[in-house]
């Protein structure tokens, strides 16, 4: 009989649980348990020895122990490590090491521990070792700490419930306020939280039969497997002598390219703008379809059509997106200069920028790129930074005058683009400049 029990237990340990798709890590669970506190056996072992207690059969009987109830929380950290927390209450007399009371008093114990499991959650039976730390309160007046150590075993019942049995030896840390004792526990726990949904793998789509020319007709049914065609012609192209997309059976002009609308004949199009005369409101002047065959309007006659003209009612330049440049308003960019070696605007520069700010205020559609330049005085890298600062200084001046920053783009070119001779004082002054160009 004993051999049969041993074999059954071995099968429980070695066989994976098959009643569900258990994860490798234990889900969160809450459990309740019944337990016994055994102070007598612990006292006998300490006064004699474990071997003597076992040999003389001095292990305490159930009636010599103190019963209690506990609530526990469990959560897996790793497939072989769980964390557990227990709150246990019982009525005992021997809770203090050197003092025994005449009547039972309430003992409240709380502990947190790690359960080091031999196997993962996929097995029915999981033995484990226990180690942790705990605290106790006895009679409302005595507070102590202890270390719970021991062994346990968890038995899965269903996906959401399991039994657990533990045997702990609780070693006091504060010996004056707690006592050595065993705790024998048996309980049941249930999963909390949402149950993980099983992963369902979608079947791979079937491999489609080959279609070399990708015309939607598989090669086994395609009479022209290497040339795209239509099902009407068993996968071959439409017979179309004039290559106008109208097959010869329906084409009234089979040798002249045309359109289906005219049964394969060409569109009557006097101005050759691709819009037939019946739909063309300007049949003698080439235009575009969105204007029903008429040219794109250019209201201000500046050579930039209204669709691309940011200033459709005011003549401008194509390179300025149809808007006038600052120079067209008698703005003199050459007057925007700086003190040598700095981004400080001269008085003349500020006066000219005031004119520019007025122009930009009156023409909110204009966006400009402010390009900073320097002379060759100093190092090239320093001049590059200085040119950027000069462009930023002009932008800041315009913004101060109420011009939106998103209409202004800045860039610095350093000393790389001189417009005058850097060997003369006048030439260097002219090179310390800012230029203004159209921005997108």
Q: Residue 304: count other Cβ atoms within 10 Å of its Cβ.
A: 23
pLDDT at 308: 67
Query: Domain boundary residue among 134, 161, 191?
Result: 191
Please check whether residue 269 lies inside any domain of the structure. no
What's the rounded Cα separation, in Å, for the pair 196 and 212?
45
Query: Domain boundary residue among 173, 191, 209?
Result: 191
Domain extent at residue 173: 13-191
Query: Domain boundary residue among 149, 164, 191?
Result: 191
Please check whether residue 324 lies inside any domain of the structure. no
What's the rounded Cα separation, in Å, for the pair 359 and 311?
14
Please check whether residue 298 lies inside any domain of the structure. no
Question: What's the sign of the alpha-carbon dihedral 404, 405, 409, 411?
Answer: positive
pLDDT tens figures, 395-437: 999 899 999 999 999 999 999 999 999 999 889 888 888 888 8
Residue 167 has pLDDT above 80, yes or no: yes
Q: Which position has the higher pLDDT, 322 or 60?
A: 60
We report the CATH number of the domain holding residue 345 as: 3.30.1330.60
Residue 64 has pLDDT above 50, yes or no: yes
Please check whether residue 214 lies inside any domain of the structure. no
- Secondary-structure percent of the chain, ordered helix, strand, coil, rounded to 5: 25, 30, 50
Please check whether residue 292 lies inside any domain of the structure. no
Count CA within 13 A, CB hemisphere, residue 295: 11
Count of domains observed in the chain: 2
Please check whether residue 257 lies inside any domain of the structure. no
We report the CATH number of the domain holding residue 34 as: 2.40.160.20
Please check whether residue 259 lies inside any domain of the structure. no
Share of residues in the chain with pLDDT > 90 (%) = 33
pLDDT tens figures, 294-344: 887 767 666 677 666 667 766 766 766 667 666 566 688 888 888 877 888
Structure pTM?
Answer: 0.43
Please check whether residue 235 lies inside any domain of the structure. no
pLDDT-based confidence at residue 223 (cuts at 50, 70, 90)? confident
């Amino acid at each position: 009989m004993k051999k049969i029990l041993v074999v059954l237990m071995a099968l429980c340990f070695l066989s994976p649980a098959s009643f569900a798709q258990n994860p490798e890590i234990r889900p969160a669970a809450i459990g309740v348990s019944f337990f016994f506190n055994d102070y007598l056996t612990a006292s006998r072992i300490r006064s004699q020895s474990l071997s003597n207690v076992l040999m003389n059969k001095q292990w305490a009987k159930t009636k010599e122990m103190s019963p209690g109830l506990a609530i526990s929380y469990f959560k897996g950290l790793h497939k072989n490590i769980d964390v557990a927390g227990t709150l246990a209450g019982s009525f005992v007399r021997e809770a203090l090491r050197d003092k025994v009371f005449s009547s039972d008093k309430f003992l409240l114990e709380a502990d947190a521990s790690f359960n080091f499991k031999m196997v993962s959650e996929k097995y029915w039976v999981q033995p484990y070792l226990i180690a942790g730390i705990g605290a106790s309160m006895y009679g409302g007046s005595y507070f102590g700490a202890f270390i719970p150590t021991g062994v346990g075993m968890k038995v899965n019942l269903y996906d959401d419930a399991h039994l657990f049995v533990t045997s702990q030896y609780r070693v006091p840390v504060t010996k004056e306020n707690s006592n050595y004792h065993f705790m024998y526990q048996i309980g049941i726990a249930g999963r909390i939280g949402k149950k993980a949904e099983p992963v369902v793998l979608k079947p791979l789509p079937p491999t489609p039969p080959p279609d070399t020319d990708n015309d939607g007709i598989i090669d086994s049914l395609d009479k022209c497997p290497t040339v795209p065609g239509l099902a009407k012609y068993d996968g071959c192209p439409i017979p179309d002598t004039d290559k106008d997309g109208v097959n010869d059976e329906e084409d009234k002009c089979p040798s002249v390219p045309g359109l289906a609308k005219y049964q394969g004949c060409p569109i009557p199009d006097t101005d050759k703008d691709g819009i037939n005369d019946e739909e063309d409101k300007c049949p003698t002047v080439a235009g575009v379809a969105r204007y029903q065959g008429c040219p794109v309007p250019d209201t201000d006659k500046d050579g930039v059509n209204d669709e691309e003209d940011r200033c459709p009612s005011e003549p401008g330049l194509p390179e300025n997106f149809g808007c006038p440049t600052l120079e067209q308003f008698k703005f003199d960019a050459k007057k925007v200069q700086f003190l040598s070696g700095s981004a400080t605007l001269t008085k003349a520069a500020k006066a000219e920028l005031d004119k520019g700010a007025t122009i930009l205020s009156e023409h909110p559609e204009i966006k400009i790129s402010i390009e900073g330049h320097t002379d060759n005085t100093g190092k090239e890298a320093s001049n590059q930074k200085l040119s950027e600062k000069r462009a930023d200084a002009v932008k800041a001046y315009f913004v101060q005058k109420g011009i939106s920053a998103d209409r202004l783009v800045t860039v610095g070119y350093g000393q790389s683009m001189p417009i005058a001779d850097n060997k003369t004082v006048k030439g260097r002054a002219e090179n310390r400049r800012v230029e203004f160009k159209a921005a997108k």
